[in-house]
Amino acid sequence: MEQIRRFPIGIQSFEVIRTNNYVYVDKTALIYQLVSTYSPYFLSRPRRFGKSLLIATIKAYFEGRKELFEGLAIERLETKWEKYPVLHLDLNAKKYDSAESLIAILNRYLEAWETIYGPKQGTTPEDRFIHVIEAAYRQTGKQVVVLVDEYDKPLLEHILNEDISEEMRRVLKAFYGVLKSAADYLRFVFITGVTKFAQVSVFSDLNQLSDISLEKRYATLCGITEGELLQNFHIELEALAQEEQLSFDEAVAKMRQRYDGYHFAHGAEGMFNPFSVLSALTYLNLRNYWFQTGTPTFLAHLLENSDYDLRLIVDGVQMPESSFAEYRADQSSPIPLIYQSGYLTIRGYDKRFHLYTLGFPNDEVRYGFMKFLAPYYTKVRGEETPFHIANFSSELEAGELDKFLQRMKIFFAGIPYELSDDTERHYQAIFYVVFTLMGEFVQAEVHGANGRADAIVKTDKYIYVFEFKLNGTAEAALQQIDSKDYSLPYQLDGRKVIKVGVSFDKEKRNINRYLIR
């Protein structure tokens, strides 16, 4: 089917979407709940999840642009359209090499606002900001609306450089701190970002700020619910089903498996990644669109520098609410930042102990994240990883274990020699990455808990039970498979069960021996 409707991929302007007949998923009923209050809000969501469009929609509302909301839910809810002065600060599309570059960008916005509301007063960004707010209030007789998009972009760019990030924090602490002292002049404040940094005064000083990132009633504010998917994109889903030679229900199930599964509050409805949905329905192809837009390298470096065992993610990571509600750049666990960046999502909640269980939301994230990590743990280049993973799967399907294990040595060949005590963790990470990626093509399970084999791979003809020993022998690995009955659950399956014991040489930093039975 020829694409006849326009999807706003990468378009963040509400005005452009509404005046150029782009498909718009109506979120204005929820937006009305927000704007009807006077509380300042903060919302954390992953990149490419519609935060900028949300800000643009709120801006159009407070500018009184009723014509842009024709036919939307808010048109029926709002009876009095008023125009307010709006100060919109977008920090997303800029590069921040130093604190000076951040100040320069803040000054650029201040200059634009000063041309509307009066001459420059003060020398520092924070002094000029408070004067602009006061001037806008005096000139219009209306309280001011402040909208900040991606407030944390300067901090995220330098999260691993403590000197630069500390300078950035000082600048932002003073600038955002104005919002507390200017409270009497403000009608509405809405701030978005990926993370919530505890050290920035927009949170520590602005104590009346309402963080709605984990609130169930606003969990669907960004993203697409399954109901919205079926209601707004039925035509394109039918076209996708035809292209993929699937039934309509099968096509929706494929979309759900690849792009759904984000939960931004316990018990909240699952959300589809909007960027991936629009891309898949535009090109009628189920690819990994969100990951192709770029993943921040600091996430991989955080994992490399932490003591975290990647294998634990597969079973669900438990974290106390406080540990990822505010991210501290000096904390040892990378999980809070990985969650806030969109690579993990809420899978469960223990109300008694206030513990969240986090896990991968869907296949796009699971396999995309592992492909992204592979070059950081091995010497295999990113573009080579899919080739090797495809061959891993084909070799096991054909029963060619020798080829499989010889190829596995390629991934271990580049373990850095400076590693000492971290060698075991590094080996575990490589195994986790490789076997998780194989799960895209064969039924592969990789485990980190005691009582289960390190990895299980199921093909049409075979079931492989793998056990690996860094400080032990291949014989000991096989013995453990037998003594703990790792293969027992598969004996009545009908497929041939093959046990594989593998040992490693810590000095050579690679596979030493393997035994197959």
CATH (domain of 199): 3.40.50.300
Cα 265 to Cα 71: distance, rounded to the nearest angstrom: 29
Residue 400 neighbours by CB under 8 Å, 6+ apart = none
Per DSSP, 211 falls in state E
Beta-bridge partners for 467: 501
Considering the domain architecture, whether residues 199 and 318 belong to the same structural domain is answered as no
Considering the domain architecture, whether residues 350 and 466 belong to the same structural domain is answered as no
Which amino acid is residue 301, in one-letter code? H
Q: Are 2 and 42 contacting, i.e. CB atoms less than 8 angstroms apart? A: no
Cα 256 to Cα 492: distance, rounded to the nearest angstrom: 32
Residue ranges making up the domain that contains 328: 297-359
Considering the domain architecture, whether residues 304 and 433 belong to the same structural domain is answered as no
Considering the domain architecture, whether residues 391 and 485 belong to the same structural domain is answered as yes
Considering the domain architecture, whether residues 42 and 140 belong to the same structural domain is answered as yes
CATH number where 508 lies: 3.40.1350
Question: For every one of its 517 residues, what pLDDT tens digit does the chain have, with 9 covering 90 and above?
Answer: 455 689 999 899 999 999 999 999 999 999 999 999 988 999 999 989 999 999 999 999 999 999 999 999 999 999 999 999 999 999 986 788 889 999 999 999 999 999 999 898 999 999 999 999 999 999 999 999 999 999 988 988 887 787 888 899 899 989 998 998 999 999 999 999 988 766 555 666 676 788 899 999 999 999 999 999 999 999 999 999 999 999 999 999 999 999 999 999 989 999 999 999 999 999 999 999 997 776 667 777 777 677 676 767 766 788 888 776 666 655 567 888 888 888 899 999 999 998 999 999 999 999 988 888 888 788 888 889 999 999 999 999 999 999 999 999 999 886 666 554 556 677 778 888 899 999 999 999 887 555 688 899 999 999 999 999 888 899 999 999 999 999 999 999 999 999 999 998 888 888 999 999 9
Strand spans (E) along 212-360: 317-320, 345-350, 355-359
The whole model's pTM is what? 0.89
Domain assignment present for residue 5? The answer is: no
Burial of 272 (0-12, 13-18, 19+ CB in 10 A): buried
Q: Tell me whether strands 144-149 and 86-90 are parallel, antiparallel or unpaired.
A: parallel
Considering the domain architecture, whether residues 457 and 407 belong to the same structural domain is answered as yes
The dihedral through the CA atoms of 301, 302, 305, 310 has a sign that is: negative
Instruction: Look at residues 168, 195, 215 and tell me which one is the last residue of a structural domain.
Output: 215
Considering the domain architecture, whether residues 342 and 395 belong to the same structural domain is answered as no
Number of structural domains the chain divides into: 3
Q: Are 484 and 451 contacting, i.e. CB atoms less than 8 angstroms apart? A: yes
Cα 455 to Cα 405: distance, rounded to the nearest angstrom: 14
Considering the domain architecture, whether residues 201 and 302 belong to the same structural domain is answered as no
Name the phi and psi angles at 409, rounded to 5: -60, -30
125: its two tokens: 């960004």
Considering the domain architecture, whether residues 350 and 387 belong to the same structural domain is answered as no
Q: Are 300 and 376 contacting, i.e. CB atoms less than 8 angstroms apart? A: yes
